[in-house]
Amino acid sequence: MPRPFRFGVNMITIESGPAWRQKCRRAEALGYDVLLVPDHLGWPAPFPALVAAAEATERPRLGTFVLNAGFWNPALLAREVATTDLLTDGRLELGLGTGYVRAEHDRAGLPWGTPGERVDHLARTVEELERLLGDPEHAPKAAQQPRPPLLIGGNGPRMLRLAARHADIAAFTGGRAAPGKPEGTLALLTPDELDAALSVYHQAAADRPAPAELNILVQRVMATGDRRAPAREIAAHGLGVDEEQALRIPTFLFGTVAQMAEQLREHRERYGFSYVTVLDPSMEAFAPVIEELKDS
């Protein structure tokens, strides 16, 4: 029996308090299950934004998607997580990643490190959070025990093994660092490359007592009667996939509402992706697909 779909929206802009609360209420009304906030300089600060989202809504879960572990000290992060979980009545889902934009670390005066060092720091952060939040003496105490659900995002082998050991939700971006391009530039994974990443994850997760939920970030949603037009556009941008691959990768959704819903069913069958996240510019365009897949 396939895992039921969940749908999240990653909220990347904030104009004012009233506008933020209204956007959160609109996302809830459209049927989104999770309201998410990323962790980039120049974008909303995750934890206060999520507390405000909780006050404006009733049903959705609330998550970080994902925290840049290099910005955070584990002990201070444990305090933020526990407090936010309390203030949101146990609706928090904690997403963590290594970060991939060196310029943000430079602006913040924080060390960047090698890829291996960034994964090491994330692993230490995960282990410390589990120790601290699982400690009966830790104050404040999170509403969810022993900790809020943990999402880990990344595609590299070490990240996939870390997610297999610790994460309740394993998140895939469908992209990787583009070779020979400026730092922070992503190239898309082909369907075969994504299959290979999932194979590494599933091998590492073989001994889990229960399978994790698998998440995919959809970068773009386009309602159209001609699916090949946007696929040709993506192929022309040199993002690492050709037109045929662009039609099949789960990173993009194009077509009629029925076609996009069918794509998500196929992606759940092939890859296991039942938790689907879109960016807030696609929030309205994706809503009819949520309705089409209700109770699927």
pLDDT mean for each 10 residues of the chain (296 residues):
96 97 98 98 97 98 98 98 98 96 95 95 98 97 97 94 98 78 73 94 96 96 96 90 94 96 97 97 98 92
| Two tokens, residue 229 | 């037009």
Q: Is residue 63 part of a domain?
A: yes
Q: Which of 113, 267, 248, 239 is nearest to 176 (CA)?
A: 239
Q: Which of 178, 174, 181 is nearest to 249 (CA)?
A: 174
For residue 150, what is the domain's CATH number? 3.20.20.30
State how far the Cα of 215 lies from the Cα of 199, in Å rounded to an integer. 15
Partner residues linked to 61 by β-bridges = 34
Q: Which of 263, 198, 197 is nearest to 230 (CA)?
A: 263
In the block, residue with structure tokens 């001609």:
226
Q: Is residue 1 part of a domain?
A: no
Residue 1 pLDDT: 84
| Two tokens, residue 284 | 């309205």
Residue 183 pLDDT: 62
Task: Answer positive or negative: Cα dihedral of 244, 249, 255, 257.
Answer: positive
Q: Describe the chain by its helix, strand, coil percentages, rounded to 5.
A: 45, 20, 35
Residue 184 pLDDT: 58
Q: Is residue 98 part of a domain?
A: yes
User: What global pTM score does this model have?
Assistant: 0.96
State how far the Cα of 18 lies from the Cα of 61, in Å rounded to an integer. 20
Neighbouring C-beta atoms of residue 184, cutoff 10 Å: 13
Say if residue 217 is exposed, middle or buried (CB neighbours under 10 Å; 0-12, 13-18, 19+): buried
Partner residues linked to 218 by β-bridges = 278
- 24, containing H or E segment: helix 17-30
- Report CA-CA distances (Å) from 222 to 260, 283, 284: 9, 11, 11
Q: Which of 32, 6, 29 is nearest to 280 (CA)?
A: 32
Residue 166: give the domain boundaries: 6-292
Residue 239 pLDDT: 85
Q: Is residue 224 part of a domain?
A: yes
State how far the Cα of 14 lies from the Cα of 24, in Å rounded to an integer. 11
Q: Is residue 276 part of a domain?
A: yes
Residue 175 pLDDT: 80
Domain count, the chain: 1
Q: Is residue 73 part of a domain?
A: yes
State how far the Cα of 277 lies from the Cα of 145, in Å rounded to an integer. 25
Q: Is residue 272 part of a domain?
A: yes
Q: Is residue 274 part of a domain?
A: yes
Q: Which of 11, 188, 41, 183 is nearest to 101 (CA)?
A: 183
State how far the Cα of 146 lies from the Cα of 113, in Å rounded to an integer. 31
Q: Where are the beta strands (DSSP E) in 69-135?
A: 92-97
